[in-house]
Amino acid sequence: MKLGITGNTFGRFGENRYQKMAEIGFRYTDFDLAGTDSAWYTADEDTLCRLVKAEKQLCADAGVTINQVHGPWRWPPQDNTPEDRAERMEKMKHSIRVTAMLGCKNWVIHPIMPFGIDDLDTGKAKETWDLNVTFMRELLSCAKEYDLVICFENMPMVRFSLATPTDILRFVNEMNDEHFQVCLDTGHVNVFPSLTLGGAVRELGSTIRVMHVHDNDGKADRHQLPYIGTADWEDFGRALHEIGYDGVFSYETSPWGSMPDPVYEAACRMMVTMAETITMER
């Protein structure tokens, strides 16, 4: 299986980040455009084009492909008012354009949360659904112009109405377009006591376009390495084979940042072995 990892994992290596990534065994990366205060959003057009050109060259030199881009996300959510959502829409569309400029086809985003993360308790689930349909249909139109696939991510908020794989699958079916698929986040699944990673894979099936792979203690979204938490990785790997998943196994986690470089690199190599073990390809 193809192995990928969030680019932030190798950020400490500066301009050598993609070279180090490839040397260790990762040929695909998840590029971070979540923070909208960065130069990727604030730079003028000439500077943006230079940023894109430089990033693509670094990837090309290392033989690394940007397989997915994480679109805008902010915490706490700021989707309450029409003005909030219009501002977010502007940033989202800009992110789509930058994703296309980077030569990437998969753009990962979260649902909007206009009534917060506890809308199941406040009777606002229907309004959340309707506002997301309107918002995502506009984004879908933009994504199709650039021939990108929106990858809608499941969430770790247990009282939010668009969180579980079942919720996300129902929404993807509502959108009913090949340009609107799923980003399966394993850690987000694992915070729900009644769910399993293998079950989520089997339920979502061919709608899984990309992944965010990480573990936790079953209580909070901690972005830990596999086998550190409570997820059943053996069944997860088995389920991937059952559905014939041929995409990238992409981590959204890193070794501990306090590690010195030689130890950190060894831990990254261990992550390759972990992925091979999970996908039963050793």
From the list 161, 167, 166, the residue with the least C-alpha distance to 113 is 161
The pLDDT tens digits of the residues spanning 16-61 come to 999 999 999 999 999 999 999 999 999 999 999 999 999 999 999 9
SS (H, E, C) 87-123: HHHHHHHHHHHHHHHCCCCEEEECCCCCCCCCHHHHC
What is the C-alpha separation between 27 and 22, in angstroms, rounded?
5
- How does DSSP classify residue 152? E
- Model pLDDT, residue 280: 86
What is the C-alpha separation between 102 and 21, in angstroms, rounded?
18
Which pTM does this prediction carry? 0.97
Enter the tokens of residue 74.
């902010």
Residue ranges of the chain with per-residue pLDDT less than 50: 282
- Model pLDDT, residue 282: 40
Q: How many residues does the structure list for the chain?
A: 282
Instruction: Count the Cβ atoms, other than its own, within 10 Å of residue 272.
Output: 15
Q: Does domain 2-278 have CATH number 3.90.230.10?
A: no
Three-class DSSP category at 217: coil
Distance of CA 229 to the CA centre of its chain: 20
Residues 6+ apart with CB under 8 A from 255: 9, 225, 263, 264, 267, 268, 271
Peptide bond into 114 cis (omega under 30): no
Which residues are 208's β-sheet partners?
182
Enter the tokens of residue 150.
């929106």
Please work out, in degrees rounded to the nearest 5, the angle formed at the alpha carbon of residue 273 by the alpha carbons of 269 and 275. Answer: 110
